[in-house]
Chains A and B, each alone.
Chain A
Amino acid sequence: MSCPYTTLPASSFWRQAVAERSTADLDPHLPARLRFGPDQRIASAGSCFAQHISRALKARGYNYYVTEPAPAHLTPDQEERFGFGLFSARYGNIYSTLQLLQLIQRAFGGFQPADQFWTDRDGRVFDLLRPRITPKGYVSMIEAEADLKRHLRAVRQLIETTDIFIFTLGLTESWVSKLDGTVYPTCPGCGSAGDFDDARYAFHNLSVTETTGYLAEAINLMSAANPRLQIILTVSPVPLAATMEPRHVMQATTYSKSVLRVAAEEMVRRYDNVHYFGSYEIITNAKNAGAYFADDARSVTAEGVARAMTLFFAHFTADGAGAATRSDGDGDGHRPAAPAPAAQIVCDEDEFYRALAASRSN
């Protein structure tokens, strides 16, 4: 018998697939099993990076499915400030698999957090599970609870009726309630709503087993509610803004992204309706030498986003088959001197970062 490697395609070999290619030609995908067209409903959720996908879908005329739409006649600024259209419903950033699971459980009536709302000194009420969904908070608890009820109904409708759900996994580091395990998108009291209280909130870094288990449970729930649902998983290439682990943030980032990548892989192996899009590989691969990151080595440049989206549509859309074209200016391997102008994304994590910097400068 001959060596089994001799039958493999070029994409299986680093030299042919990577070393001998320019960065502009790098494409870490084989033909996808899933293809969608403009008529299919496509929903998305996830970390900050996920907003690039929703914007690209809308910009290219795909049916980006929104079940919690903005009222008519809002300005784009108002829509963004109040979280309309950033994702398919107004859930804000969903960073961890446990956060996704709890959102779905809440939408289907299986979980009710014990510590969700926080009232500031002015009587404004904030939803700690989507702390920036109303910039100044709700005007009353009545408004907060009424809006939450409608939001969860919109999430349920989304899961039950979308054709495709794209989820970008972002973090493993989480802040949870000591009361009932509710997981928050950011640490309460750190740059957004809430008062930090170590008697009520605890840091928890999800293990690979937890991350995988929660993601599987979320997929099971979604698939049960919508048997024809197709799911695309991606891993955000954006490094951690900060770590609570007693180790360097680079090590913490490697751990977190590795766990998320393993969880995504495990789901693809386990479920026929789950697919993987390699935005992480596109942006972070060694051949690029950081070309798709800005000076802070964290922000993904507009060129990087464009390249990822080009490949996404090339592999997952019916009319994009084989059209993994080069993106202009992404092949020189040089990091830009300053962040290229990129679409503004709304990111709870960045808000925390800004608040932290401000508190240190005071």
Chain B
Amino acid sequence: MDTELETVLPVYIVGDSHSLPYRNMVFRERWTGAWVMARTKYIPGATAREFYNPDTGEFHPDFIAFLEYEGLVRNGRATHLSMDDVDFAIAKAAGQAVRPPLIMITIGEIDVRGPILQLLKDSHDFVPPFATTLPLLDKPLVPWDLIDEAIEARLGPFIAGLDQLVKAGFKRVYVQSVVPPTRQEARIRELQNYDCPVSVRTKLVQAFNWKLAQKVRSVNLFMIDRWSDLTEGDLLRPEFDFDGVHLPPKGARLLLETLIDHAIDSRGLVANHPRYELYYRMACGLDPFQPAKPNAA
């Protein structure tokens, strides 16, 4: 059995308020029986646009603070890849996984509900580039390309940040899809100060997720999505409408289970080769912290 799954498997969930339903969530993973524990960080107002600044190369400070607090980053480096003897000793003593940590980022809902939805409000609809069961209302259309540009503007910095995370060794980062929006029109009016039909709002979330999934895959990561389970006729099932914005814990649990399933199924893809190299060198009686000597030949 995998040593990682013999003990508690932490999943680090960080992002906007959609990380909150995971708080204190502990359950047994259904295939191996291992304990899964969510460790969460809520970053108020976190958006995809502000997750990472490609111009400066800086992540949102609260995101970095979370990684450091959880011991996933020390001295500006991913600890699971560190060759530093102190990091190695800490990792060994703490029994940390030899694989990259499981991280899920919850982000994007504010981007959708804010600047992108403003293009549509109650006055417009749009035709997405994928099949949807949602109706096309008898309203003027915003060209899909303009919706696409608006989504790109929000996702561009975020995906650049994900790419940096992957390059830094965080190869098991997941992104939670934006959850289906509430059917409560009054709640939206309260939140946004304008009306927007549920079919338009839901279609916009579908479009955002459609783009998000593609872009997340482009950096070899994965988006967690349980749309068909959370919706009925592509609209949010009432039992998953917690407060007009968030999923209840049972909905979040569905998403987390999907993450765990995927993580188990794709373990081989993220082997920590540097650390295996360390073990190999130790097994051979070599000092793992000394660079290998070139072959005399």
Residue interface bits B119-157, CB-to-A below 8 A is 1, else 0:
111011001110000001001111111100100000000
**Chain B contacts of A142 at CB under 8 A?**
127, 136
B141 and A143 within 8 A (CB): yes
B120 and A71 within 8 A (CB): yes
Residue of A nearest to B118 (CB): A73
Residue of A nearest to B148 (CB): A139
Give Cα distance in the complex from A154 to B118, angstroms.
Answer: 22
**Chain A contacts of B143 at CB under 8 A?**
82, 134, 138, 143, 147
Interface size on A, residues (CB 8 A): 20
Within 8 A of A (CB), among B18-73: none
Within 8 A of B (CB), among A38-69: 68-69
CB distance from A356 to the nearest CB of B (A): 26
Within 8 A of B (CB), among A153-183: 154
B129 and A140 within 8 A (CB): yes
Known: A134-B145, A135-B145, A143-B141. A72 touches B127 (CB 8 A): no
Known: A71-B119, A71-B124, A74-B146. A146 touches B141 (CB 8 A): yes
| A136 located at the interface, meaning its Cβ lies under 8 Å from any Cβ of chain B in the complex | yes
Q: How large is the interface on B (under 10, 10 to 19, 20 to 34, 35 or more residues)?
A: 20 to 34
A82 and B127 within 8 A (CB): no
CB distance from B178 to the nearest CB of A (A): 20
Known: A78-B149, A146-B127. A138 touches B144 (CB 8 A): yes
Give Cα distance in the complex from A347 to B124, angstroms.
Answer: 27
B119 and A73 within 8 A (CB): yes
| A354 located at the interface, meaning its Cβ lies under 8 Å from any Cβ of chain B in the complex | no
Residue of A nearest to B140 (CB): A150
Give Cα distance in the complex from A139 to B127, angstroms.
Answer: 8
B140 and A68 within 8 A (CB): yes
**Chain B contacts of A139 at CB under 8 A?**
127-129, 144-145
Give Cα distance in the complex from A135 to B128, angstroms.
Answer: 17
**Chain B contacts of A140 at CB under 8 A?**
127, 129
**Chain B contacts of A143 at CB under 8 A?**
127, 141, 143-144
Within 8 A of B (CB), among A229-259: none
Q: Which of B115, B119, B136 contacts A146 (CB 8 A)?
A: B136
Q: Which of B127, B128, B129, B146 contacts A71 (CB 8 A)?
A: B146
**Chain B contacts of A69 at CB under 8 A?**
140
**Chain B contacts of A71 at CB under 8 A?**
119-120, 123-124, 140, 142, 146
Residue interface bits A302-339, CB-to-B below 8 A is 1, else 0:
00000000000000000000000000000000000000
Give Cα distance in the complex from A16 to B261, angstroms.
Answer: 91
A73 and B115 within 8 A (CB): yes
Residue of B nearest to A150 (CB): B140
CB distance from B104 to the nearest CB of A (A): 30
Give Cα distance in the complex from A154 to B145, angstroms.
Answer: 21
11 extra interface residue pairs, beta carbon distance < 8 Å, beyond A71-B119, A139-B128, A146-B136: A71-B142, A72-B118, A82-B145, A135-B145, A139-B129, A139-B144, A139-B145, A142-B127, A143-B143, A147-B141, A150-B141
11 contacts between A and B (CB under 8 A): A71-B142, A73-B118, A82-B146, A134-B143, A135-B145, A138-B144, A139-B127, A139-B145, A140-B129, A146-B141, A150-B139
